[in-house]
Structure 1
Amino acid sequence: MADTREHTLPGTKGALLVHEWPHTRPRYLALLVHGYGEHAGRYQEVAGVLGAHGAAVYAPDHVGHGGSAGERVVVEDFEDVVSDVHAVADLARAAHPGLPLVLVGHSMGGLISARYAQRHGAELTALVLSGPVIGAWELPGRLLALEEIPDTPISPAALSRDPAVGAAYAADPLVWHGPMKRPTLEAFARTLRTVAEGGDVGGLPVLWLHGDDDRLVPLPGSRVGVERLTGGAGGDLTERIYPGARHEVFLETNRAQVFADVTAFLDRVLPR
């Protein structure tokens, strides 16, 4: 797979940095949507797997994250972030017209991707949700009830059983290591309601990946949202729950199995 390229787009709230992992003859497009406080550069391994599988891969740093503009980790409206992701999809489609588009969203990126599928689902061939913030996620309400948001950053140990993952996260200068901010928490709460009320995604194939020891986005709360999004028994939902795995299943000790599950799902749903 070729080296990463970078693009700058005029996002809804300022300059948007977009990472591209090119492919000389792709058979589909994969759009990676990263989580809270991190950046798309952490998805190099995922991009490599998808590239070897035939994808040209694109991934923005969201507003307030990574190399994009904005106050750090402030997202005032996730509808704007969905619009930014859609602009990246347009960039990818302009470079590779007619190819199927797969959306892969992790954590906060799962919330963004779920809302994207509600707004633009007809443009997607498949949706992959990893530890998605969707359904009954109690953290925003709990923190918003406090007069002051506590300075309790994400514990690196909650990400993966692989200690090297936590160490790299803690040392990454592009990762936010401070407290959550009230406007972002308010946007989370608002968008969780919007997605809950926004209807299902019809027959769009959805793959849901989750660790059963995810303490950041507990599995039972996500299940409520995933089942609602996919329309229950009438939808096309594939779920893979990994015993003992924590929040970042793409960086877990069993990630070879996770990647195999992703590519097997895509082999089923992509046009031959």
Structure 2
Amino acid sequence: MSDHIAQKTITYPSADGVSTVVATLWLPPSDVSLKGIVQISHGMVEHIMRYEAFAYALCNAGYIVAGNDHIGHGRSSAPEARGVLNPLKGSDILIKDTDTLRHHMTEQFGTSLPYVLFGHSMGSFIVRAYAGRYNEDLAGVIACGTGTVSPLLSDIGFAVAHHLCKTKSIEYRSAFVDNLGIGAYAKAVPGPTNYEWLSYNQENISSYMADPACGYMFSAGGYAALAKLTKEACSKTSASHIPSTLPFLFIAGAEDPVGANGKGVRKAAQLTKDAGVTDVTTILYPHMRHEILNEDARETVFNDVISWLGSHHGNNTSTR
């Protein structure tokens, strides 16, 4: 299989009216028939370039891949402003910026190719909420490393973070709030680096810690926006707006604290089923934690995703 994959950087205005969103496109080798488009939504306090190996696997299987650095993240933010989001509008902006990239892709490549959204962690909540809003002509949703956050917990998280926004600032970084957020995952999987919850793969942890665009503390505004996002994504109302025929794939590590070691993932899948979605698949991977795309056995995950895509859209091919 050819590995001549083209990479392209694009920019577009964020829905916040201020930021410039930076996105990366990966294009399959010219000798590979196009099967579809996969748009990746990355997780909290990281960036889209951490998904390059996954993007290459998808490209070699015939999929055009795109993904943006969310506002407050990576190239879409100044280093000092990473983790800062509008507490009231931040969740809407994340979802709308996702929609803008989708429209850019369909304008460039047309609408004949199946369009699938893939979201990891925070990105999984973005694509789940997106599916309840902008689901027309969407061909599938893959939620990776997702979980279930109760409405009460989202409300409490928002109230605490929003109070800090008003009494301090949206840029204020609270160790107390962060300890309740990401800190809770570190406590669930204790270790010398506090990042053992990410993966068993130590090389991945070291790479994450060495990356200045990863691991910073979310601001009060960021946590408030995240709480609004999880409340929408995990709500029955949002799920009820998902078309019954839209295929969903939930994938996660069986030892991922974000998904409560699988319990939260199953709840998320059941919520989708209870809303009437008829095609819902769940895969939990033994001996994997949060970042299943970066574990030693990540090729298994890559292959499962590609197999799922092929089983749903394998007959939709296009030449260039």
- Deviations, residues 2-43 of structure 1 (Å, cap 9, x unaligned): 242101111112100010111345221110000000000000
Q: Which amino acid aligns with 1:37?
A: V
What TM-score do the two structures reach when normalised by structure 2? 0.78
Relative distance call for 1:93 and 1:142 in structure 2 (3 A) is closer
**C-alpha distance in 2 between matches for 1:22 and 1:15:** 22
**Within 5 Å, which residues of 2 pair with 1:125-204?**
125-136=139-150, 141=156, 145=160, 148-150=174-176, 155-175=194-214, 177-195=215-233, 196=235, 197-200=237-240, 201=242, 202-204=244-246
Aligned 8 A contact 1:135 1:224 in 2: no
Relative distance call for 1:234 and 1:123 in structure 2 (3 A) is closer
**Within 5 Å, which residues of 2 pair with 1:1-272?**
1-13=4-16, 14-23=19-28, 24=30, 25-69=33-77, 71-76=81-86, 77-97=90-110, 98-136=112-150, 141=156, 145=160, 148-150=174-176, 155-175=194-214, 177-195=215-233, 196=235, 197-200=237-240, 201=242, 202-218=244-260, 219-231=262-274, 235-270=278-313, 272=315
**C-alpha distance in 2 between matches for 1:26 and 1:46:** 17
Q: CA deviation at 1:75?
A: 2.8
Q: Which runs of 5+ in 2 are unaligned?
A: 165-173, 184-193, 316-320
**C-alpha distance in 1 between matches for 2:21 and 2:50:** 17
Which has the higher mean CA deviation after the structures are superposed, 159-168 or 142-151? 142-151
Q: CA deviation at 1:217?
A: 3.9
3-state SS of paired residue (2:135): helix
Relative distance call for 1:144 and 1:217 in structure 2 (3 A) is farther
More contact order relative to length (CA 8 Å, sep ≥ 6): 2
Greater Cα radius of gyration, structure 1 or 2: 2
3-state SS of paired residue (2:113): coil
**C-alpha distance in 2 between matches for 1:253 and 1:18:** 27
Identity %: 25
Relative distance call for 1:56 and 1:87 in structure 2 (3 A) is same
Aligned 8 A contact 2:154 2:231 in 1: no
Aligned 8 A contact 2:82 2:216 in 1: no
Q: Which runs of 5+ in 1 are unaligned?
A: none
**C-alpha distance in 2 between matches for 1:140 and 1:265:** 35
Q: CA deviation at 1:188?
A: 2.1
Question: Cα RMSD over matched residues?
Answer: 2.3
Which has the higher mean CA deviation after the structures are superposed, 28-37 or 190-199? 190-199
Aligned 8 A contact 2:35 2:314 in 1: no
Q: Which amino acid aligns with 2:141?
A: L
Aligned 8 A contact 2:115 2:140 in 1: yes
**C-alpha distance in 2 between matches for 1:65 and 1:189:** 17
Q: CA deviation at 1:170?
A: 0.3
The size of the alignment, in residue pairs, is 271
Relative distance call for 1:144 and 1:223 in structure 2 (3 A) is farther
3-state SS of paired residue (1:99): coil
**C-alpha distance in 1 between matches for 2:149 and 2:268:** 3
**C-alpha distance in 1 between matches for 2:175 and 2:259:** 19
**C-alpha distance in 1 between matches for 2:131 and 2:148:** 13
Aligned 8 A contact 2:141 2:249 in 1: yes
